[in-house]
Copies of this chain bind each other. A is one copy, B any other.
Amino acid sequence: MIATIMRLSRYFLPVSKDVPADAAIVSHQLMLRTGMVRQNGAGIYTWLPLGFKVLQKIEQIVREEMDRAGAIELLMPTIQQAELWEESGRYDDYGKEMLRITDRHDREMLFGPTNEELITDVFRAYVKSYKALPLNLYHTQWKFRDEIRPRFGVMRGREFLMKDAYSFDLTEEAARASYNRMFCAYLNAFDRMGLKAVPMQADTGPIGGDLSHEFIVLADTGESAVFCDRDLLDMGAPGLDLDFEADLTGEVEKRTSLYAATEEMHDEAAFAAVPSDRQVSARGIEVGHIFFFGTKYSKPMNAMVQTADGTNVPVQMGSYGIGVSRLVGGIIEACHDENGIVWPKAVSPFDVGLISMRPKDEAVSTAADDAYAALTHAGLDVLYDETDERPGSKFNRMDLIGLPWQIVIGPRGVEAGQVELKHRKSGEKFDVTLEDAIAKVKAD
């Protein structure tokens, strides 16, 4: 990797002090204030450099956990032909949320809101035998849903980035095993992002099927009420050493056997049966949604596979979505304080912020340049504020951006051979040598 530009004076980080009036939730406010996104139209955003870095980090974590679970990456286009959706019967069902497009030859097309039809078409073109199964194909691609009232910034945009995976199996039992692999991979992915995501029974909506879980992050500002057993919150993720070749039923059942449901699926009586000290009633944000829908698409679209005994059966399918762009907002909702964002380490746009308090003082500026070189050499991604602004506004900006660690180089420290290391989340400050600061940041 080539180091990206990180000297603030050369970077493009349009931080703003104003809270925009139309930004109703804190993540939207903070993303605009920190110059992470700019709105280009209703529910359509440019990801400015700081926001784009976070988006990329989330995408990469999701990619790694999909790969670890045995899914294979490809990339489907944004524009799809209407014919495929007529085959599945969803072309009319989808209504006005589907962005319909007519090309120069008057062919009906659409900007994909999801990809069940297209992946089923790819599958049926090539796979004819059970021997190629199980198969799980995924991509991370921009989608469009023409929401009537886009709002909450990237949390409910129209153009949004989604990772969607699709599993193909011969039998329902094998398809449930594929579902379980995704269930566990999702828990690991969210855990790596610093999020506690709780799987909850969910409605299947326009995707269809009879088995579905939403992954919900608890946040006071969440869009919907959720109810769950506290034991779910105390339970760790399955872990990166999980054997995805093994039977994962136990991993899934120890979670699904505990009560957890969103508002729509909430069952007061079942919730009342949870010991009262374990009843959690909170608000949550949906960051992932998985579905098993069997032959809902393969049957009408004739995606058949031959079994060992030579008969042809429609393939059993599931689909698995993670809202990559929505997660940026979701993480901020879950991780902020009165001074701004508090990024979990794994998705922070930079590892550490370096502030030169007096860039015009030669000793300070030399020490800061040296610190920048040493931090970069140590493999850390550094945002180096060497601008000529007042220290107070530099501190505030660094807090607002929310990198996990800050290192401040000032005249007193330079004399004492020390730097000030600040932990953004706790606010703790340490006067230490640069070497100790680097060690502490790396050990985090």
Instruction: Tell me the count of chain A residues lying within 8 A, CB to CB, of chain B.
Output: 61
A157 to chain B, nearest CB (A): 9
Copies in the complex: 2
Q: Is the CB of A49 within 8 A of B67?
A: no
CB closest chain-B residue, reference A387: B131
A81 at the interface (CB under 8 A from B): yes
In the docked arrangement, what's the CA distance between A52 and B122, Å?
14
CB atoms of B41 and A55 under 8 A apart:
no
Q: Are A73 and B101 in contact (CB under 8 A)?
A: no
Instruction: State whether A67 touches B5 (Cβ < 8 A).
Output: yes
A362 smallest CB distance to B (angstroms)? 21
Interfacial residues of chain A within 129-144, with CB under 8 A of chain B in the complex: 132, 135, 137, 142, 144
Q: Is the CB of B49 within 8 A of A73?
A: yes
CB-contact partner of A144 in B12, B46, B79, B158, under 8 A:
B79
Contact mask A145-184 → B, CB, 8 Å, 1/0?
0101000000000110000000000000000000000000
The segment from A103-111, A332-340, A353-361, A364-372 that touches chain B is: A103-111
Does A313 count as interface, using CB distance less than 8 angstroms?
Answer: no
Do the beta carbons of A159 and B79 come within 8 Å of each other? yes
- Please tell me which one of the listed residues B1, B46, B142 contacts residue A118 in the complex, with CB atoms under 8 A apart: B46
Closest residue on chain B to residue A83 by CB atoms: B41
Q: Say yes or no for A68: interface residue by CB 8 A criterion.
A: yes
Contacts of A64 in B (CB 8 A): 1-2
Asked if B109 and A159 sit within 8 Å, CB to CB, the answer is: no
Residues B76 and A46 in contact, CB atoms below 8 Å apart:
yes
